Amino acid sequence: MSDATFQAPVGTHDVLGPESQLWEGVIATFAQLAYRYGFSMVVSPLFEDVGVFHRGIGEASDVARKEMYVFEDRGGRRLALRPEGTASLVRAFVQHHPVTPWRAWYLTPAFRYERPQAGRYRQHHQLGVEVLGSDDPAIDVEVIALAVRFFRALGITKFRLLINSMGHDACRGAYVEVLRRYLGEHEGELCDEHQKIWSSNPLRVLDCKKPSCVAVTTRGPQLPDYLCDDCRTHFASVVRGLDAIGIASVLSPRLVRGFDYYTRTTFEFVSDVLDSAQNALGGGGRYDKLAEELGGDPTSGIGFGVGVERLLLVRAAEGVSAPLLKRTIDLFVIDTTTQDAATTLVDELRGAGFAVLRAYDQRSMKSQMKVADRSGARLALLIGPQELDSNEVTIRDLRSQDFEQAQTRVPRSAIVSAVAQQLSK
């Protein structure tokens, strides 16, 4: 085999079968659930004016400062590949004024120039939902419940839901000032990076995973203690609602997440079976100011994104191997005559709804049989010179060891009903 001249870029992956069947299963499971919760699929561009992300996720966020793929197109526009889905979806909402509450689900690649490692890629894929047009805490509960139901449908059970409230502008603003003062007093104890930038966006220090920053912020002032009455009540309703439907949550006062758009409820699902560097299965929260930030009318919003690659890693780490979709081949057609008979037979059977494969290139009977066996098909349909003469097809059950019992010959004109009957046995 010759070496490939080109490889997939660092931090990206090709997903081929049979692994891709798991992807199909994960996506189909999510689409079905999203439909049950009243969401419609939204497809939007993979690149946007860079301003959508600078304003949306915040210029000071790690992703915007260090990880975004920004480029100029031939028309001189400054564009960025989407590092996440929310800002783009809210941009689409502001542009199209759909009826609210707007419930959108999506599957998108997301691009971040990260240091590649297991579970952390430069192109990953997110399944997500966003709801715009209401700040009712019942929606926060529904959105979180959808994610939990999704994980369970995939067989994932070893995870925790971390939750916090970031408050709204006024109460968060007051907290940020207190935090800034506190960080100023402890500047020398922060990690190198945050010693330089703690003052411009103190909340980012809460998101830092380095032990030095964690130690300082754990001892410092905590966001939930500064919430105003409205935000406190909102948060209590969310936690109560989750409790009422049997979803346990762990209050995490330092959970501010990596983007500047979050307000009030923020949450993250962490797996107990992965390393802490990539144990987030998914996360999300409210962003009640984002639509305004992107030029729209004030509109509350909430959503989450989960990483498909992470889901599959966690599923494997939890030892779940059950297939998510039934993907079996029903029939394999073998034609040792001119192969024209196979062409019409395969077409008719696929038209009738069966999953059908066949052999090509005029191979011998023995070689076609080998391919049929390897295909995992339930039945082989054989057309040899005898069958062609008598206008019949031989059906062979590939799972039966008994050669005599395994074979029957049926008229070509009755093949669809004969096959259906055999498959139902």
The residue ranges that bind ligand HAM (CB under 6 A) are: 84-86, 112, 114, 119-121, 124, 126, 128, 130, 258, 280-285, 303-307, 309-310
Nearer to ligand HAM, 144 or 359 (CB): 144
280 near 272, Cβ under 8 Å?
Answer: no
Min dist CB 185 to ligand HAM, Å, is 30
Place of tokens 């964690």: 214
Q: Which residue is nearest to ligand HAM (CB)?
A: 307
Count the alpha carbons within 13 Å of 336 in the hemisphere toward its beta carbon. Answer: 16
Residue (226 or 259) nearer to ligand HAM, CB? 259
What separation in angstroms does the CA of 6 have from each of 15, 69, 96, 109, 122?
16, 21, 41, 21, 17
Extended beta strands in 114-216, E state: 123-132, 159-165
Q: Least distance to ligand HAM from the beta carbon of 125, Å?
A: 8
Q: How many CA atoms lie within 13 A of 84 on its CB side?
A: 28
Q: How far apart are CA 111 and CA 121, in angstroms?
A: 8
Report the C-alpha gap between 347 and 409 in whole angstroms: 20
Nearer to ligand HAM, 207 or 330 (CB): 207
Instruction: Give the sheet arrangement for strand 263-271, strand by strand.
Output: 40-41, 102-111, 123-132, 301-307, 280-286, 263-271, 159-165, 250-251
**Closest distance between ligand HAM and the C-beta of residue 390, in Å?**
59
> Do β-strands 102-111 and 40-41 pair in parallel, antiparallel, or remain unpaired?
parallel
- Token pair, residue 151, equals 């994980």
CB of 51 to ligand HAM, least distance (A): 17
What's the min distance (Å) between Cβ of 312 and ligand HAM? Answer: 11
Instruction: Count CA within 13 A, CB hemisphere, residue 277.
Output: 8
* CA Rg value for the chain: 28
Kindly tell me which of 150 and 332 has the beta carbon lying closer to ligand HAM. 150
Residue 6 CA to residue 25 CA, distance in Å, equals 30
Q: What 3-state DSSP class applies to 198?
A: coil
Of 124 and 396, nearer to ligand HAM (C-beta) is 124
The Cα 67–Cα 112 span in angstroms is 5
Nearer to ligand HAM, 175 or 261 (CB): 261
Cα gap 265→134, rounded to integer Å: 13
Q: Give the shortest CB-306-to-ligand HAM separation in angstroms.
A: 6
Q: Cα 258 from chain centroid?
A: 18
Residue closer to ligand HAM by CB (options 94, 334) is: 94
State the minimum distance, in angstroms, from the CB of residue 128 to ligand HAM: 5
Alpha helices in 294-364 (DSSP H): 308-317, 340-351
Nearest approach, Cβ of residue 295 and ligand HAM (Å): 19
Which C-beta is closer to ligand HAM: that of 157 or that of 344?
A: 157
CB of 344 to ligand HAM, least distance (A): 47
Of 306 and 342, the one with the shorter C-beta distance to ligand HAM is 306
- Closest separation in Å from C-beta 284 to ligand HAM: 4
Closer of 112 and 358 to ligand HAM (Cβ): 112
